[in-house]
Amino acid sequence: MGVTWSQFFPPPPSLTETNLPSPAGKVFIVTGGYSGVGFELCIILYKAGGRVYIAGRSKEKALHAIERIKAISKSSSAGADIIFLFLSLDDLTTIKPAVQQFISAESRLDILFNNAGISNPPQGSVSPQGHDLQLATNCLGPHLLTQLLLPVLLHTAKSIPPAGVRVIWTGSLVVDISAPVGGLEISELLRKETDPARNYINTKVGNWFLAKALAGQVGASGILSVVQNPGNLRTDIARHFSVILRCLVAPLAYHAKFGAYTSLWAAFSHELKIADGGSYIIPWGRFHPCPRDDLLRAMETKQQGGTGSADTFVQYCGDQVADYLA
């Protein structure tokens, strides 16, 4: 209970725009960067000198965000820029073209922020490929994007110290307080009648499973993969909540910039090492001190004494995106 309480009322952030290691010369992708946490993150990275790609499906919203960011933030570096990259995470056909566009312009990628997500859309909402909309947007799309970007991430990792290249996944407080015992239920994600709130929980646990699996896949090559709960925030992620629920949550919600601080710590903190791959980060940038034992066991194979359910989910995601990797 104490850890849950501390995520509602975190200690002050230790890494902000005031003491951020310089991102000058580095390249970033932020999915969903034109609103909420992603927008605040893009402001900080651009102002500090980074080259930032806002990845999303609305060119109009992205260009408006870029205009706002440049108007309020004078960058400290001549190499800084902020660029729109079209992709729609729920539509798997859009992701490979986006990656091809990116690698035609860039030879490196330092940090991938899998920041975008959707919560509680109308029941029965599905993606263009027929998947539950939250599963597609929160898990399948980010998984495909990450796998397609691995060559440029690996190339970048060869020239910098271990853990300098990172992939940041996005979880939620619901992982601690509401996740099913043992992790998630794939069967629920496949049923159109499943409560959207339940599927949101499943996908946020799924993000942790994907982060852990990626850490095992590329940790030895110097890439760090972690998941973070950005915090309880005032963002558009709650736009599908009922009015009553939004009113109940509002007094406990923080400005989106604080969520950006959680992401910054996950992306830049020197406390994080390759051995910390798969770790869960909580607001506003610190290790989760005591993750649920049943979730940790889910990320171990049966041979290791676990349940292997994380591997089952990751394999499912891999199967769903396989045709879009070629």
Burial bucket for residue 67 (CB in 10 Å: 0-12, 13-18, 19+): exposed
Structure tokens at 294: 């049943």
Question: Which helix (DSSP H) or strand (DSSP E) does residue 84 occupy?
Answer: strand 81-86
Give the Cα separation of 22 and 110 in Å (integer): 13
Active site residue 96: no
> What pairing do the DSSP bridges indicate for beta strands 223-228 and 27-31?
unpaired
**Bridge partner residues of 54 (DSSP):** 30, 84
Q: Alpha carbon of 6 to those of 1, 2, 93, 106, 278: distances in Å?
A: 9, 6, 40, 40, 21
Angle at 61 (CA atoms; ends 203, 87), nearest 5 degrees: 50
CA pair distance 178, 176, nearest whole angstrom: 6
Cα–Cα distance list, 141 to 215, 236, 290 (Å) = 18, 19, 29
Candidates 34, 200, 254, 280; catalytic one: 200
3-state secondary structure of 144: helix
Catalytic residue among 26, 47, 204, 212: 204
Q: Which residues of 140-179 are buried (b: 16+ CB within 10 A; e: fewer)?
A: bbbbbbbbbbbebbeebbeeeeebbbbbbbbbbbbbbeeb
| Token pair listed for 211 | 């982060």
CB 224 within 8 A of CB 165: yes
Is 74 a known active-site residue? Answer: no
Given a contact cutoff of 8 angstroms between Cβ atoms, the answer to whether 99 and 86 are in contact is no
Contact 80, 22 (CB under 8 A): no
The catalytic residues are 200, 204
